Chain A
């Protein structure tokens, strides 16, 4: 062993250096082994990678060791704090230009930039493949992740989000089943669809790159729906613009494709489908809180103005906002904050407000096999105590929800709403106006359109999608499946 006294001064200093450094590493390592590993990230709203299952196949293919590395990184001590620092570091790399910071995404199936219909949405051919570099320099590793957009994240499996359940265990209307928001299978991160994000001022939005190619396919599916239903039910199309349409400074308008133009293009192609054009009405209210700053969704106020336009199109007068009970569900920071952790977004939280309709309703939820999944609610006030505030709107993204008006609806009509998450804050406004509302989440709805409309006596079908869905091959596929289902 070393005899300390025999060492010159700088060797002793080296020893001290080594001691401190290795202690830090060892301490980190020990902590990482003994600390309580979280299973879920409330900020990212996903399950953190679990310890992978060990099997001969998993070992031989390398999946096991890769999974272990990811699990280790996912459950590293102080991960959330470290991530916060990671993003701070990212912000310190430069400064904002005209109060803007853009998070560009490397290609890998960005829906915004190309309407890619290939099933295997891999890197564009001809790109430099790190694996080809001598020795597979970074084949399994981090540079591959950096360039191909962190592809590996996706290992989380679908499970109902337990945190969405009522934390206090109080019964939901009807008692019994905890309210669980079933995460649609496609949300299980097949990676693609990376979006460019702009942070402007204290708000963030996704840049829009949708083009006519996919939009034409969307229009075709809508037309098919109308032709399939024929005289049985009237079909309405409501496309929801997103925040980038209204809040990007004029100078930068060219960054983002015009959603208004694309919407008009789709409307121009519709046959026997009635267009509900909400672009102008939202524009006229754009100084109000129509979109969240830290989340990509619209607020219920934005949904209300769209509802007014919908009613106008159907030929009746919408209920005024005052006819609904305003319930503040709570403050939150949403998906855009989770994506960027921008300090600008951290400054002001968003607030979820729900508008509860007067009247008596029976709301039933159903799962993706059509089985009853408990009682629902049009507005779930208990969402105040949940981490996912959006559960307040029709208790979340259930595959199928049936709302029956037990009182006197303003119109004796039965409505079918085909929607994704943007439809949730919209539906509550409709409740007093219809005898029955059947809410179908296009991602998981288990029934076919014609069959459902016929057997339930539906009079009106509303297809409500946000402009990104309009150009999203997956959403169009979802709709197509429902429309063409026997």
Chain B
């Protein structure tokens, strides 16, 4: 199941909220656990067993480590957990990639497996790793109850697409949490924001991206190529941050405070800053569980950075273009550290901002095309190196047909919503809380209505060429 789905919105969610709040406090974890497993099984009827099974392994590893003081024994517990989790990724996510590369390198003709990756595996394996590592380091208490541990792993808000929640961040709330009506309200509102971002922005952007990134060569133009790249830039932000908003909102509804994952990354003025605003939980995970253990910036800093960024890229997908995307950012990080930051500090902000956007948009082109040659030919088109006109009517028409939406989508990449919120609070201070209530309720209901109508359209493909 996914959040941006009518069945989730109108059946799963209200029913779960009712069941949760009707149940006694002691049963609420059980309600959430059942709901989470059902949620996951809906999309992965078979691999839900993998989720439960691998959680069982880490549960036992945690208890094993916790029950021992000898460092060697404790290390065994950790090693088993890492091997299992990384092994799962290797098999279910990277098998095809690994075998393909092995074949290419050695000329061996092994059959390349085409395993369909279970949903969320990249997220829940990392979450489990965070648990065993933190237990090993003595930073987290051992979770003695398997149902509670399984709940940590399978909690449906962040199971499918993050944020990556570490055990230490929710251990307390797993055991005891309370919710006030304002938690529910803020959770619902945050969820609605995420849903709206996904269906009203990301999906449209995705459609435009697909059209303009795949324009047949004889119809493509420079602006068309840019339109495709920019639309993908918009799509991936609104899609991913929208999912995080929904996850955080859902968690809040049940008393969990998940970490933020996105902080308006497109207003950044440097790549360094960008990665402190984009997919923050992943960045922090790699920093705390890979970069720092490797030595951080104290020794072999460049090698450590290389490893981290290689894997950051690779985590995003089992294909070399993602690795290149990761290393591409490493190059800019190093350049910035060396001299670029200082250079841009002396120039007006608009220059560094433009630089960052350029770097990011080009980066997304590498991210989008798994075939590197396609990425390069698209970039050539964008930078006037292809033999195409600057603009043509289809692009003009597409821009006109989508202009209002486009302007708003771009504008809200900046913290406009926060600005509006502050404005509303100022108004509330003058006119009383009722005004704020009315505005927020109306906005949320409008968002729900719009999201519903947009979701209804998704089972509907009108452009089929029927009865010809």
Judge if B135 is at the interface, Cβ distance under 8 Å. no
Q: Which of B160, B401, B457, B459 contacts A137 (CB under 8 A)? A: B160
Closest chain B residue to A472, Cβ basis: B468
Task: Knowing A2-B181, A140-B43, A469-B468, say if A106 contacts B453 (CB, 8 Å).
Answer: no
Cα–Cα distance between A7 and B183 once the two chains are bound (Å)? 14
- Asked if B315 and A134 make an inter-chain contact with CB atoms under 8 angstroms apart, the answer reads yes
Judge if B367 is at the interface, Cβ distance under 8 Å. yes
Q: Which residues of B contact A421 (CB under 8 A)?
A: 467-468
Q: Which residues of B contact A83 (CB under 8 A)?
A: 453, 456-457, 460
Cα–Cα distance between A420 and B206 once the two chains are bound (Å)? 35
Complex interface residues of chain A between 56 and 74 (CB less than 8 A to chain B)? 59-62, 64-65, 68-70, 72-74
Task: Knowing A49-B459, A106-B210, say if A15 contacts B181 (CB, 8 Å).
Answer: yes
Per-residue 0/1 for A1-41: is the Cβ within 8 Å of any B Cβ (1 yes, 0 no)?
01000010111111111101110111011001100000000
Cα–Cα distance between A376 and B220 once the two chains are bound (Å)? 49
Chain B proximity of A395: nearest CB distance (Å): 15
Cα–Cα distance between A62 and B2 once the two chains are bound (Å)? 13
Per-residue 0/1 for B1-35: is the Cβ within 8 Å of any A Cβ (1 yes, 0 no)?
11011110111011101100000000000000000
- Asked if B393 and A13 make an inter-chain contact with CB atoms under 8 angstroms apart, the answer reads no
Complex interface residues of chain B between 438 and 467 (CB less than 8 A to chain A)? 440-441, 444-445, 448, 450, 452-467
Per-residue 0/1 for A83-121: is the Cβ within 8 Å of any B Cβ (1 yes, 0 no)?
101110100111111101111111100010110000000
Chain B interface mostly: helix
Cα–Cα distance between A251 and B46 once the two chains are bound (Å)? 56
- Asked if A79 and B456 make an inter-chain contact with CB atoms under 8 angstroms apart, the answer reads yes
Binds B, one of A124-132, A304-312, A324-332, A449-457: A124-132
- Asked if B374 and A76 make an inter-chain contact with CB atoms under 8 angstroms apart, the answer reads no
Per-residue 0/1 for B394-431: is the Cβ within 8 Å of any A Cβ (1 yes, 0 no)?
10111111111110000000000000000000000000
Judge if A410 is at the interface, Cβ distance under 8 Å. no
Q: Which of A9, A14, A65 contacts B184 (CB under 8 A)? A: A14
Judge if A340 is at the interface, Cβ distance under 8 Å. yes
Judge if A145 is at the interface, Cβ distance under 8 Å. yes
Q: Which residues of A contact B11 (CB under 8 A)?
A: 29, 32-33, 72
Cα–Cα distance between A119 and B186 once the two chains are bound (Å)? 50
Judge if A195 is at the interface, Cβ distance under 8 Å. yes
Q: Which of B45, B216, B454, B455 contacts A65 (CB under 8 A)? A: B45
Closest chain A residue to B462, Cβ basis: A339
- Asked if A59 and B45 make an inter-chain contact with CB atoms under 8 angstroms apart, the answer reads yes
- Asked if A25 and B401 make an inter-chain contact with CB atoms under 8 angstroms apart, the answer reads no
Binds B, one of A186-194, A260-268, A398-406: A186-194
Closest chain A residue to B364, Cβ basis: A128
Task: Knowing A94-B401, A95-B401, say if A28 contacts B10 (CB, 8 Å).
Answer: yes
- Asked if B15 and A94 make an inter-chain contact with CB atoms under 8 angstroms apart, the answer reads no
Cα–Cα distance between A76 and B10 once the two chains are bound (Å)? 10
Q: Which residues of A contact B216 (CB under 8 A)?
A: 113-114
- Asked if B5 and A141 make an inter-chain contact with CB atoms under 8 angstroms apart, the answer reads yes
Judge if A146 is at the interface, Cβ distance under 8 Å. yes
Chain A proximity of B287: nearest CB distance (Å): 17
Closest chain A residue to B315, Cβ basis: A134
Chain A proximity of B450: nearest CB distance (Å): 7
Binds A, one of B57-65, B116-124, B148-156: B116-124
Q: Which residues of B contact A135 (CB under 8 A)?
A: 119-123, 160-162
Q: Which residues of B contact A472 (CB under 8 A)?
A: 468
Cα–Cα distance between A480 and B32 once the two chains are bound (Å)? 59
- Asked if A76 and B185 make an inter-chain contact with CB atoms under 8 angstroms apart, the answer reads no
Binds B, one of A148-156, A168-176, A282-290: A148-156
Judge if A369 is at the interface, Cβ distance under 8 Å. no
Task: Knowing A62-B44, A194-B465, say if A93 contacts B404 (CB, 8 Å).
Answer: yes
Q: Which of B15, B161, B401 contacts A93 (CB under 8 A)? A: B401
Chain B proximity of A189: nearest CB distance (Å): 6
Q: Which residues of A contact B393 (CB under 8 A)?
A: 97, 251-252, 254-255
Q: Which of B10, B120, B454 contacts A25 (CB under 8 A)? A: B10
Complex interface residues of chain B between 354 and 378 (CB less than 8 A to chain A)? 367-371, 373-374
Cα–Cα distance between A11 and B6 once the two chains are bound (Å)? 29
Judge if B110 is at the interface, Cβ distance under 8 Å. no
Task: Knowing A150-B458, A150-B461, say if A140 contacts B213 (CB, 8 Å).
Answer: no
Q: Which residues of A contact B456 (CB under 8 A)?
A: 73, 76, 79, 82-83, 86
- A sample of 6 more A-B contacts (CB under 8 A), given A134-B315, A420-B468, is A28-B452, A69-B5, A103-B463, A124-B214, A142-B2, A147-B207
Chain A residues near B (Cβ < 8 Å): 2, 7, 9-18, 20-22, 24-26, 28-29, 32-33, 44-45, 49, 59-62, 64-65, 68-70, 72-74, 76, 79, 82-83, 85-87, 89, 92-98, 100-107, 111, 113-114, 124-129, 131-143, 145-153, 187, 189, 191, 193-195, 197, 206, 251-252, 254-255, 296, 335, 338-341, 397, 420-422, 466, 468-469, 472, 475
A sample of 15 inter-chain contacts (CB < 8 A) reads A21-B445, A73-B6, A73-B456, A82-B452, A94-B401, A97-B396, A102-B397, A102-B398, A106-B210, A143-B202, A146-B202, A146-B210, A150-B459, A151-B461, A153-B460
What 4 pairs between A and B have smallest CB-CB spacing? A126-B371, A106-B210, A97-B400, A141-B2
Chain B residues near A (Cβ < 8 Å): 1-2, 4-7, 9-11, 13-15, 17-18, 42-46, 116-123, 160-162, 180-182, 184-186, 188, 198-200, 202-204, 206-211, 213-214, 216, 219, 232, 235, 239-240, 243, 315-319, 322, 367-371, 373-374, 392-394, 396-406, 433-434, 437, 440-441, 444-445, 448, 450, 452-468
